[in-house]
Amino acid sequence: MKHARSLQGRLLALLMSVVAVVWMITAAYTWFDTRHELDELLDGHLAQVAALLTTLNLDEIAEDEHADAPSLHRYAPKVTFQVYHHGRLISHSANAPSQPLASASSAPVFQTVTLDGDTWRVFTTPGKQADVQLFVGEQLHSRADILWALLRSTLWPMGMALPFLALAVWWAVRQGVEPLHRLGQTLAERPAQSLGAVNLDQAPIEMQPMLTALNGLFGRINELMESERRFTADAAHELRTPIAAIRTQAQVALGETDDALRRHALQATLEGCNRATRLVEQLLTLSRLESGAEPALSPQSLNDLIQSVVSDLAHLGLAKQQDIEVQAPTPCTVLGDATLLTVLLRNVIDNAIRYSPPAARILLRLQGSTDAALLTIEDSGPGMSEADLQRVGERFFRVVGSGQSGSGLGWSIVQRIAQVHHASVHVTRSPTLGGLQVSIRWPTQR
């Protein structure tokens, strides 16, 4: 497992590296620029000295070759000059070498030469007379000394400022990541059951997307936990009744001596088990839908699904001598999950069969258009009152006095499946058969 890297440490390392690189680039630029300007300045001084010497006449220069120029400054030993006439040295400074500083030239020129281990910067130019040659030179190491002296006054303060700059960068980075530390502390201090939004005072703009995503995650987790709590409460609430009924019938069967009555009690026990099984299946389906898991949708033929569900439930209608009619003249294809669509159709058709009286008429009409598919399920049963219609879809809501067993979860499942498939469900009274009419509209597959 790799060790976690500190964001503050990474920022410090990055910024200090950038500062160090910029400092070195600045120092190098200062070095080269100062050296260039210093060379230009000192070369100009050499040319100026040579220009002064060219203004002198030969008779103003002593013929004695040992008549040395006086040293008037502490840098004077670093600078020298020579005056040659007809190839003979007629005047020079005290530190001038015995041989010419450089080769003679017919035009002013700068040369860098090495004599007796010393490197000189020499300006060579002819004198006022053509047979006079002037040499003015300066030892290059003196220029290096001057350059170092100039750079010390510039780079030394910059070097001394580096530790303070590093301290300032450290403080700035620490202040910059302080909101992250506060966020971590806030999350660490939150109770485990707290899933509300995280509010961080004066949070920088860069942290807003993270806070938004974090609060969104907390919201989704809260919805999942609330769904689990509802599922647990619903299951505990609704399973209590069938389990109690099964227990009662089992006790009756154990204590009954009459075979017919015992068989009736056992049959009621089996019916209670079937009811509990259907309830568990309904609860699990609803739980999966409310967990937010999006099913994979693919083109499905509503005609085939309706035919399959009606075939499975036909025996219930036949037992009650009901007339179940399906009108589906045109093929209709929608995007959906076959299992979930089957559950939806089974719930609405099963409700129509169970809540309609014997010999009732049940009509399924499927109509398709270019942009939608409409399925209507109508029956000639008693229907529902306006007050009950307003409560359709509430969990565990059942019409009182219907005489039918159920969990009250069917409509919740229908509406949730329809929502997953971007369909709409509308429940009203049938204008033709007088009972209940359920209309489901899907967007069609193009």
Question: Is the model's pLDDT at 96 over the cut of 70?
Answer: yes
Q: How many CB atoms lie within 10 A of CB 381?
A: 23
Residue type, 420: V
pLDDT tens for 164-189 read 888 888 888 877 777 777 777 777 77
Give the E-state strand segments of 116-210 in sequence order. Answer: 118-126, 132-139
CA–CA separation, 303 and 307 (whole Å): 6
User: What's the mean per-residue pLDDT of the chain?
Assistant: 78
CA–CA separation, 367 and 166 (whole Å): 76
Q: H or E stretch including 91?
A: strand 88-93
The answer to whether the CB of 379 falls within 8 A of the CB of 430 is yes
Q: Tell whether 116 and 225 lie within a shared domain.
A: no
Q: Tell whether 36 and 143 lie within a shared domain.
A: yes
Q: What is the domain-level CATH number for residue 135? A: 3.30.450
Q: Tell whether 337 and 382 lie within a shared domain.
A: yes
193: in domain: no
Q: Tell whether 386 and 338 lie within a shared domain.
A: yes
pLDDT tens for 225-262 read 776 776 666 566 556 656 777 787 788 888 877 888 87
Residue that finishes a domain, picked among 148, 164, 180:
164
Q: What is the domain-level CATH number for residue 371? A: 3.30.565.10
15: in domain: yes
198: in domain: no
Q: What is the domain-level CATH number for residue 217? A: 1.10.287.130
The phi and psi torsions of 210 (rounded to 5 degrees) equal -65, -45
155: in domain: yes
Q: Tell whether 56 and 160 lie within a shared domain.
A: yes
Residue that finishes a domain, picked among 272, 288, 304:
288
Domain coverage including residue 102: 7-164
Residue that finishes a domain, picked among 288, 306, 321:
288
pLDDT tens for 61-91 read 554 444 455 555 566 667 888 888 888 888 8
416 to 22, 129, 220, 340, 376: CA distances (angstroms) = 62, 113, 17, 10, 18
Q: Tell whether 123 and 223 lie within a shared domain.
A: no
11: in domain: yes
Q: Tell whether 320 and 438 lie within a shared domain.
A: yes
Q: Tell whether 242 and 121 lie within a shared domain.
A: no
Nearest to 238 by CA among 207, 182, 284, 203: 284
126: in domain: yes
CA–CA separation, 440 and 36 (whole Å): 88
Give how many domains the chain has, as a whole number. 3
Residues 6+ away with beta carbon under 8 Å from 397 = 391, 408, 411
Task: Name residue 372's beta-bridge partners.
Answer: 443
23: in domain: yes
Q: Tell whether 29 and 156 lie within a shared domain.
A: yes
pLDDT for 303 equals 92
Q: Tell whether 274 and 231 lie within a shared domain.
A: yes
